[in-house]
């Protein structure tokens, strides 16, 4: 029978021959894995900068486009010579594009806020996980982020962590390029990056075995702990971390994983920011100092609104060049001081609104088919006309005491009524404007004073459209 001493020796030998307790054999992350995780987190935080940059650029360009639309309209309405249909439609295109972009602004801003919130929130979860691992066990022998047996990890080894050991804050900077979330996401499981250290470093954060983890001591079952919003799922037992423990493993892309909402929101921001970007960029080139030599643009039938335009319209390269020249001249003329151009724009818009009111009245008369209440008289057609403009059909030039006057012919005083449509609408704008003196001419919205003559200010060669009709279309688009 063995003695008590022999029993004690056998018991001691048995204890010494057992494997080391698993609680002291926890394999940590490597600095390469922590670096890849931080790289993904930093890219998530960049979504806020990208969204802010895109929203700012969109709003700025939309505002520029609105100003351009007003100035193009002013340049062609108030310039010398009759504009082409293409020039008019270029101004209308600028106004329409601006209003279309304004309608999209709320969508863009909403998507930008959503993307920034989702992605920043998930970046916060990831960096909190890395920060906990960084703080736990700080020397080379007991650590949760392993560098080497000789050297403990430092802040410089973990991009999420600043020199003071804290987390880097989100800062909004200019970011024109879309964050590469997918490539950073997949980099976490690329090559040997995801593998944990082979050495045992007593990291008690990476073992989900209930009996071996002080954090789970009160539990009755093993728990596969998840860190970083599910980015890392720790092994059960003393097993080194591998690719299978990381969320991106076996995922085709970020769109298949736990970060898909953030990625989708980012794509929607990028798409919304590009709304009408090609047309906007093209039109804003008209503000260049030199002729941008733009290619022709086709405006499709009914593409503006309703049944407008009634047919396809082509804005030629020549139209764009001419419009660039007129715009440049208009702005140069009104930039003697800081407020002059603004005053010119306001005056032009006031005139446009007057013309729009005229267009509404004419449109109502034409659409109803009812006779216009406007009455004309022969004396009205003669009054104020110069000798050369005195209509011989209804009027005659009379001179007395060295002064001449255009008067109705005898028997031509009775009133006549015009209709809203057809040939009965006899008083053409050419007749209404021709012969008017400058003060009277400038007050009439359908006329303009050019040189020494009052002329019809119609802007389309196509006689289906009057100046007032185009003014109405322009104002409807602009406001």
Show me where the domains of the chain are located: 23-272, 372-419
Per-state percent for the chain, helix, strand, coil, to nearest 5 = 50, 10, 40
Contact 262, 181 (CB under 8 A): yes
Position 24 scores a pLDDT of: 41
Rounded to 5 degrees, what are φ and ψ at 302? 65, 15
Q: What is the pLDDT of residue 202?
A: 72
Question: CA dihedral in degrees (345, 347, 349, 350; nearest 10)?
Answer: 160
Residue written as tokens 């093209």? 282
Q: Residue 278's CB: how many other CB atoms inside 10 A? A: 9
Classify residue 82 by its DSSP letter: P
For residue 411, what pLDDT is reported? 57
Per-residue pLDDT of the chain (479 residues; tens, 9 = 90+): 444 443 333 333 333 333 344 444 577 888 899 999 999 999 999 999 999 999 999 999 999 999 898 889 888 877 667 788 899 899 999 989 999 999 999 999 999 999 999 999 999 999 999 998 888 766 667 788 888 876 778 888 888 988 888 888 888 899 999 999 999 999 999 988 888 777 777 777 776 665 666 566 566 666 778 889 899 988 877 678 889 999 999 999 999 999 999 999 999 999 999 999 999 999 999 999 999 999 999 999 888 877 788 889 999 999 999 999 999 988 888 775 556 766 666 666 666 655 555 555 545 454 444 444 444 455 567 877 777 778 877 788 888 777 788 888 775 444 443 444 444 343 444 566 777 777 777 666 567 777 677 876 543 333 333 344 445 445 444 44
Query: Residue 253 has what DSSP assignment?
Result: S
Rg (CA), the chain: 40
Sign of the four-CA dihedral 315, 321, 325, 331: positive
Q: What does the angle CA 49 – CA 54 – CA 60 come to, to the nearest 5 degrees?
A: 125
* Residue given tokens 């971390």 in the structure block: 241
> Do the Cβ atoms of 95 and 299 come closer than 8 Å?
no
Compute the distance between CA of residue 327 and CA of residue 447 in angstroms, rounded to an integer. 21
Distance of alpha carbon 101 from alpha carbon 280, whole angstroms: 9
Quick check: helix, strand or coil at residue 457?
Answer: coil
Instruction: Identify the pLDDT of residue 298.
Output: 94
Question: Are residues 317 and 294 in contact, defined by beta-carbon separation less than 8 angstroms?
Answer: yes
What is the per-residue pLDDT for 119?
Answer: 96
Question: CA–CA separation, 157 vs 347, rounded Å?
Answer: 64
CATH number of 23-272: 3.90.150.10
């Amino acid at each position: 029978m063995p003695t008590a001493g022999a029993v004690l020796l056998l018991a001691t030998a048995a204890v010494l021959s057992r494997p080391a307790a698993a609680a002291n054999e926890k394999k940590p992350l490597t600095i390469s894995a922590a670096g890849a995780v931080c790289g993904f987190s930093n890219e998530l935080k960049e979504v806020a900068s990208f969204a802010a940059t895109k929203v700012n650029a969109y709003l700025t360009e939309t505002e520029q486009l609105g100003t351009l639309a007003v100035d193009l309209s002013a340049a062609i309405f108030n310039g010398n010579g009759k504009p082409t249909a293409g020039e008019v439609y270029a101004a209308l295109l600028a106004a329409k594009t601006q209003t279309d972009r304004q309608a999209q602004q709320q969508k863009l801003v909403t998507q930008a806020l959503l993307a920034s919130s989702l992605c920043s929130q998930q970046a916060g979860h990831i960096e909190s996980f890395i920060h906990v691992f960084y703080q736990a066990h700080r020397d080379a022998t007991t650590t949760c982020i392993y560098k080497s047996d000789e050297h403990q990890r430092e802040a410089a080894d973990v991009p999420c962590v600043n020199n003071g050991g804290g987390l880097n804050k989100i800062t909004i900077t200019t970011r024109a390029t879309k964050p590469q979330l997918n490539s950073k996401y997949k980099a976490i499981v690329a090559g040997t990056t995801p593998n944990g250290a082979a050495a045992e470093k007593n990291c008690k954060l990476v073992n989900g075995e209930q009996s071996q983890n002080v954090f789970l001591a009160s539990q009755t079952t093993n728990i596969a702990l998840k860190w970083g919003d599910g980015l890392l799922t720790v092994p059960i037992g003393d097993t080194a971390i591998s690719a299978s423990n990381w969320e991106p493993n076996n995922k085709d892309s970020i769109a298949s994983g736990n970060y898909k909402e953030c990625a989708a929101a980012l794509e929607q921001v990028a798409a919304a920011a590009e709304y009408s970007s090609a047309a906007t960029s093209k039109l804003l080139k008209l503000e260049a100092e030199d002729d941008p030599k733009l290619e022709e643009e086709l405006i499709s039938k009914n593409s503006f609104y309703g049944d407008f335009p009634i047919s396809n319209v082509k804005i030629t390269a020549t139209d764009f060049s001419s419009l660039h020249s007129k715009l440049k001249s208009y702005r140069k003329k009104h930039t003697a001081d800081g407020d002059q151009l603004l005053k010119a724009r306001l005056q032009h818009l006031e005139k446009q609104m007057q013309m729009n009111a005229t267009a509404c009245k004419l449109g109502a008369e034409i659409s109803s088919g009812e006779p216009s209440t406007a009455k004309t008289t022969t004396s009205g057609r003669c009054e104020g006309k110069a000798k050369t403009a005195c209509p011989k059909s209804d009027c005659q030039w009379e001179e007395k005491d060295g002064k001449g006057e255009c008067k109705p012919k005898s028997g031509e005083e009775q009133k006549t009524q015009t209709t809203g449509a057809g040939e009965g609408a006899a008083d053409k704008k050419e007749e209404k404007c021709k012969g008017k003196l400058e003060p009277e001419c400038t007050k009439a919205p359908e006329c303009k004073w050019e040189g020494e003559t009052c002329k019809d200010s119609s802007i389309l060669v196509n006689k289906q459209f009057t100046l007032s009709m185009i003014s109405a279309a322009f104002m409807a688009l602009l406001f």
